[in-house]
Amino acid sequence: MTRPSGRSLVAHLTFFLIFFLALTAIHWPVLRLPYFWDELGQFIPAALDILQEGAWIPKTTLPNVHPPGVMAYLALTWKLVGYSLLSTRLAMLALAAAGVLGTLLLTIELCREVDGTPALVAPVLLLCSPLFWAQSLMAQLDMPAMVFTCFSLLFFLKRQMGLCVAACTILVLCKETSLVVPFVFGCLLIYQRRIRQALLFFLPALALGIWLLALKSTTGHLFGNEEFTHYNIAFQFHPIRLPVTIVRRVFYLLVDNYHLLGTLVIAFAILRTQVFNKYSWKVVALTAVLQTVLVSVLGGAALERYLMPVIPLFYIAVAGALSVVAPRIRITVSVIMAAGLMSAILINSPFTYPYENNAAFVSFVRLQQQAARYVETELPGQTVVSAWPFPDALRRPEFGFVRKPVPVRAIADFDPQTVLALAGNIDVLVVYSRTWEAKWGVLQAAWVRRFLETYYFYKPQITSEEIQRDLGLTPVARWEERDQWIQIYTHPRI
């Protein structure tokens, strides 16, 4: 076992500061951006409950299986520097910078014996990734899970088992599905007959078990609530949905966002060289595959952000593969991949995808900001009807959308049946694009809509014509940005 010298610690800190400053610079225009979707629906309220009431089981939002690690980190940050949008964003960027550092160090560890300078390739590709660009700013769980996955692997390969167990424990307290990482390590150690060390990797499971027991004692349900459990466990076990999710995972990891170039280089290196034959690469590959399988089987929404812990491992493999090709090819592939990834931050996919995969989430939040500002200033005291997450944005000023709480009535969605059921009881209605449905996207195809309606409960939103004809409401304001929109309707009597 090797211990870092004072010189290496200074070097690590220097790289961390460089990465933090780089991340701050590329996110500068959005450092005070209000919260998006699950941030304001789950993670920020849960963190505020810890800060304000010492409540580790959320009170102001629905408890679920997610451990409190990230929320506790945010609560501690706010305790030290005060609560604000800026402190939240910078706290997450600091974690992201640690993740880039972990990617760099893991690349160095894996590529010690290869030619060229692959160590810089993986961190640069990660910094260019549209998913990482979005998730590094957001108060969610998957980017922190990425950070501690990288460090857990690094410590395991360096045989620093005490640090590895500590990193794994923090990891599973950030994201419960990350339990697969210490599971892999424990199994490998048992296979090598290193039983005492293997037993240490029960500690992360013990920490997660304590959290689940605390959750059950408070909520009466081991995973917090029954609806969350059904959607995230049972929903995916379907003969159509599960294979589709696996295809989505493979496509996003190996093909999308110019990843195909990296995949081809990796395939060449596997078939023509011995670069990936080392034990360390096999550990990383096993961890990546099992993590991908687990987040394909679990998680009803099948969000791409669940793959965040695997993304840097893919880029590290690309870096290793590039070391065995000609320098001209190495440079060309690296430049094209980096440029393609950066372009995907702003250029949206034709496929239906979560806004949080790139800068589309910024447009979503800005549109909600404009609508919230209009409602607060132009329609004071009026009860607003809308679908989540906009009602939560209006209820709580600390989320950054309004100065004072706005009366709101939440509905499940913008399905015509849902909205029209309130006929005669709506004075202000706010409708917006909850799903990516660009005019040039795949949702314009009838067969795609039928497929999603059949297997994913997709429902087209109520149209402006239906709102005006059947509810008697009048459009008074509309904003659009990058193929997203939000529109406000009012009753003529207002």
Label residue 2 by pLDDT band (50, 70, 90). low
Q: What percent of the chain has pLDDT over 70?
A: 98
The residues, ordered by sequence, that sit 6+ positions from 197 with a Cβ below 8 Å of its Cβ are 161, 189
- Residue 236 identity: Q
Q: Which residues pair with 101 in a beta bridge?
A: none
Domain match, 368 and 349 both: no
Residues 305-329: tens digit of each pLDDT: 999 999 999 999 999 999 999 999 9
Residue 176 half-sphere exposure toward CB, CA atoms < 13 A: 18
SS3 assignment for 13-45 = HHHHHHHHHHHHHHCHHHCCCCCCCHHHHHHHH
- Domain assignment present for 35: yes
d(CA 461, CA 459): 6
Using alpha carbons, list the distances in angstroms from residue 206 to 61, 212, 301, 309. Answer: 26, 10, 27, 22
pLDDT for position 10: 92
What is the number of other CB atoms lying within 10 angstroms of the CB of residue 468? 13
d(CA 126, CA 118): 13
Q: Is the pLDDT at 347 greater than 70, yes or no?
A: yes
Residue 318 half-sphere exposure toward CB, CA atoms < 13 A: 34
The model's pTM: 0.94
Of 356, 378, 393, the domain-final residue: 356
- The DSSP letter of residue 445 is S
Domain match, 280 and 172 both: yes
Residues 9-27: tens digit of each pLDDT: 999 999 999 999 999 999 9
Residues 34-60: tens digit of each pLDDT: 999 999 999 999 999 999 999 999 999
Comparison of pLDDT for 449 and 247, the residue scoring more: 247
d(CA 253, CA 239): 22
Comparison of pLDDT for 425 and 150, the residue scoring more: 150
Q: Is the pLDDT at 439 greater than 80, yes or no?
A: no
Torsion of Cα atoms, 386 then 481 then 260 then 185, to 10°: -40
Q: Is the pLDDT at 5 greater than 80, yes or no?
A: no
pLDDT for position 251: 95
Domain match, 401 and 314 both: no
And the tokens for 479?
A: 């904003």
pLDDT for position 3: 58
Label residue 452 by pLDDT band (50, 70, 90). confident
* Mean per-residue pLDDT over the chain, rounded: 94
- Domain assignment present for 160: yes
pLDDT for position 256: 93
Residues 88-138: tens digit of each pLDDT: 999 999 999 999 999 999 999 999 877 666 789 999 999 999 999 999 999
Domain match, 339 and 363 both: no
Domain match, 62 and 10 both: yes
What is the number of other CB atoms lying within 10 angstroms of the CB of residue 274? 9
Domain match, 127 and 146 both: yes
Domain around 166: 6-356
Residue 164 half-sphere exposure toward CB, CA atoms < 13 A: 24
Torsion of Cα atoms, 132 then 137 then 142 then 148, to 10°: 90
Q: What does the buried/exposed string (b/e) look like for 366-386 if buried means 16 or more CB atoms within 10 Å of the residue's CB?
A: bbbbbbbebbbeebeebebbb
pLDDT for position 445: 85
d(CA 254, CA 110): 20
Residue 487, SS3 per DSSP: strand
The residues, ordered by sequence, that sit 6+ positions from 255 with a Cβ below 8 Å of its Cβ are 263
- Residue 131 identity: L
- Domain assignment present for 1: no
Residues 124-156: tens digit of each pLDDT: 999 999 999 999 999 999 999 999 999 999 999
97 closest CA partner among 10, 162, 12, 6? 12
Q: What percent of the chain has pLDDT over 90?
A: 82
Of 356, 373, 406, the domain-final residue: 356
Residue 489, SS3 per DSSP: strand
Domain match, 366 and 259 both: no
Domain match, 335 and 438 both: no
CB of 374 within 8 A of CB of 488?
A: yes
Domain match, 226 and 324 both: yes
What is the number of other CB atoms lying within 10 angstroms of the CB of residue 449? 17
- Domain assignment present for 267: yes
pLDDT for position 4: 60
d(CA 250, CA 244): 10
Determine the Cα angle at 189 with ends 186 and 194, to 5°.
125
- Judge residue 358's burial from the number of C-beta atoms within 10 Å of its C-beta, 0-12 exposed, 13-18 middle, 19 or more buried: buried
326 closest CA partner among 269, 274, 278? 269
Residues 194-244: tens digit of each pLDDT: 999 999 999 999 999 999 999 999 999 988 888 887 788 788 888 898 999
Number of domains, the chain: 2
Comparison of pLDDT for 12 and 6, the residue scoring more: 12
- Domain assignment present for 453: yes
Q: What is the CA radius of gyration of the chain?
A: 24
Domain match, 307 and 391 both: no
Residues 58-83: tens digit of each pLDDT: 999 999 999 999 999 999 999 999 99
Domain match, 78 and 225 both: yes
pLDDT for position 234: 80
Domain match, 321 and 389 both: no
Of 325, 356, 387, the domain-final residue: 356
Q: Is the pLDDT at 430 greater than 80, yes or no?
A: yes
140 closest CA partner among 103, 89, 178, 99? 89
- Domain assignment present for 74: yes
pLDDT for position 446: 86
